[in-house]
Amino acid sequence: MQDGIILIDKPAQMTSFGVVARIRRVLSKQQGKKVKVGHTGTLDPFATGLMIIVFGKECKNASNYSKLDKIYEATIRLGQSSTTGDTEGEISDISDKIPSKTEIDAAIEKFKGEITQYPPIYSAIKINGKRAYQLARDGKTVEMPARQINIYSLDVINYSYPNLKIRVHVSSGTYIRTLAEDIGGELGVGGYCTELRRISIADWDISQAKTLTSMGILD
């Protein structure tokens, strides 16, 4: 393989850059020279699922892949909040109220279609040349610019309090951690994302992806 893409099912507790580094080592060893490798959109370390890895001359087209729509499955824990919107942050109890299924359905309806979203401060977005998460970790106040996103569909897969599992089809640039927090806020009980899995990017599906184990990269 000289140029192209590889579909990878990213494991949990690994950064997207870690995936790229491992793929680069394998391809470089196979080809006997250093191979240029990149990704087309990060997944948080706690998240799993589909990544499109580009290599060789295809790296110049990485931005085209990053603009594609995506589908995720996510589990939201209600009643609590996290400083990072996921399992890696500081967790706080917010409310012991148990929302009804009717209240859940009414809340998620408000997030369908074109909406305004404020990305999380713990993200890789650059603010005045620095990553937002670096500023946040330094204790600095971070004002994230709003962005318009599109949520094409948002469905409840399962609800067993405090866990709400959803499936969501979104435009590029959507943060599912923020969506989890916003749904919890709409319900008045708080919420954060405990599980996140990207299952498709445009017409590419997770069923087509290789694991790092199957490639001999992880034991």
- Give per-residue pLDDT as tens, 146-184: 889 999 999 999 999 999 999 999 999 999 999 999 999
Domains in the chain, please, with CATH? 4-67+202-208 (no CATH), 70-95+102-201 (3.30.2350.10)
Question: Cα(25)–Cα(38) distance, rounded to whole angstroms?
Answer: 12
User: Considering the chain, what percentage of its residues have pLDDT values greater than 70?
Assistant: 88
Does 26 score more than 80 pLDDT?
yes
User: What is the rounded end-to-end Cα distance, in angstroms, of the chain?
Assistant: 23
pLDDT digit string (tens) for 60-91? 999 999 999 999 999 999 999 998 899 988 99
- Which 8-state DSSP code applies to residue 107? H
HSE on the CB side for 91, CA within 13 Å? 13
Note the pLDDT of residue 102. Answer: 98
Whether 142 shows a pLDDT value over 90: the answer reads no
State residue 42's pLDDT score. 86
Residue-level pLDDT at 119: 78
- pLDDT at 132 > cutoff 70: no
Q: Which two tokens stand for residue 180?
A: 């989890």
Residue 105 appears among annotated catalytic residues:
no
Report pLDDT for 215. Answer: 85
Mean pLDDT of 198-209: 97
pLDDT the model gives residue 41: 86
pLDDT higher than threshold 60 for residue 1:
no
Provide the mean pLDDT of the chain.
91
Catalytic residue among 44, 96, 105, 138: 44
